[in-house]
């Protein structure tokens, strides 16, 4: 299986930046799409961004386009989510996820990290 560990969350003021990291380990011998999801209090978990195994394709939720950037390390064992121009509505618990896929899905992920809290103050 694949183990995912997120890091980089914290408290930041509106307009600031934060970079989340997701370290993957385990049996990553197949192609895994990697994604980021978030869940705010009293809200459903929502898709944020995802990237292909090769790192050649990425997709974003409309709410974060132009502000967030997902990237993959050369070794493919780490995925980043660079978050710029943060807004209070970005406050949520952020999860890293992975699934076997040749494309970049927005759902159906099989493996999940423990999550990391991102809080954006006004």
pLDDT digits (tens, 9 = 90+) for 36-70: 999 999 999 999 999 998 778 999 999 999 999 99
> For 72-86, b where at least 16 C-beta lie within 10 A, e where not — what string?
beeebebbbbebeeb
CA–CA dist 106, 85 (Å, integer): 23
Question: Does pLDDT of 29 surpass 60?
Answer: no
CA–CA dist 21, 7 (Å, integer): 5
Query: Taking all residues of the chain, what is their mean pLDDT, rounded to a whole number?
Result: 93
Burial group, residue 102, by CB count within 10 angstroms (0-12, 13-18, 19+): exposed
What's the pLDDT band for 103 if we cut at 50, 70, 90? confident
CA angle 33, 35, 36 (to 5 degrees): 170
Question: Does pLDDT of 28 surpass 70?
Answer: no
């Amino acid at each position: 299986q694949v183990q995912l560990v997120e890091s980089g969350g914290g408290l930041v003021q509106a307009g600031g930046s934060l970079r989340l990291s997701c370290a993957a380990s385990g049996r990553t011998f197949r192609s895994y799409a990697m994604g980021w999801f978030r869940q705010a209090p009293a809200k459903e978990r929502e898709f944020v961004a995802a990237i292909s195994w090769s790192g050649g394709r990425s997709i974003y939720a409309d709410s974060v386009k132009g502000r967030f950037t997902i990237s993959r390390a050369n070794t493919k064992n780490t995925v980043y989510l660079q978050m710029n121009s943060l807004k209070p509505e970005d406050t949520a618990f952020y999860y890293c996820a992975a699934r076997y896929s040749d494309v970049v899905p927005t759902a159906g992920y099989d493996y999940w990290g423990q999550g990391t809290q991102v809080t954006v103050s006004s």
